[in-house]
Amino acid sequence: MQPDSKMGSQRAANLRMATILLSIAAVFFCGIILAQYSGAPAVAVGVLGLAILGFLGISIGRNVGRRGRQ
């Protein structure tokens, strides 16, 4: 691969990852507010909490222990 196209693909990968992470943060921010408008705020906040825990578990878990991953 040519250096320019390699740099371009890395930039695209960086932007893709940043967009995903920013979207996740936005969902958590809106979620904690919208949860208050659900019929059962405590349950909705609990569900959001589990989603946050799931995000953390998956995001960390998929990287930990991967010896060969470049």
Partner 1 sequence: MSSIPHDHAAGHEHAHEHHPGGIMRWIMTTNHKDIGTLYLWFSFTMFIAGGIMALTIRAELFQPGLQLVEPEFFNQLNTVHGLIMIFGAIMPAAVGFANWQVPMMIGAPDMAFGRLNNWSFWLLPFAGVLLLGSFLAPGGAPSAGWTLYPPLSVQAGMGMDMTIFAIHIMGASSIMGSINIITTILNMRAPGMTLMKMPLFVWTWLITAYMLIAVMPVLAGSVTMLLTDRHFGTSFFNAAGGGDPVLFQHVFWFFGHPEVYIMILPAFGIASTVIPAFARKPLFGYASMVYATASIAILSFLVWAHHMFTVGMPAAGQLFFMYATMLIAVPTGVKVFNWLATMWKGSMTFETPMLFAIGFLFLFTIGGFTGLVLAIVPVDISLHDTYYVVAHFHYVLVAGSLFAFFAGIYYWLPKWTGRMYDETLGKWHFWLSFIFFNVTFFPMHFLGLAGMPRRVPDYATQFTDWNMVASIGAFGFGLSQLLLLIAVLKTIRSGPPAPARPWEGADTLEWTLPSPPPYHTFETPPVVK
- Contact, 31 vs 48, CB < 8 A? yes
Please give the Cα distance from 63 to 65 (Å, whole number). 6
Per-residue mark of binding to partner 1, 5-44 (x: CB under 8 A): -----x--xx--xx--xx-xxx-xxxxxx--x----xx--
Handedness of CA 61, 64, 66, 70 (dihedral sign): positive
13-22 LR contacts (CB < 8 Å, sep 24+)? none
Min dist CB 27 to partner 1, Å, is 8
Per-residue mark of binding to partner 1, 37-66 (x: CB under 8 A): ----xx--x---x--xx-xxx-xxx-xxxx
The residues binding partner 1 (CB under 8 A) are: 10, 13-14, 17-18, 21-22, 24-26, 28-33, 36, 41-42, 45, 49, 52-53, 55-57, 59-61, 63-70
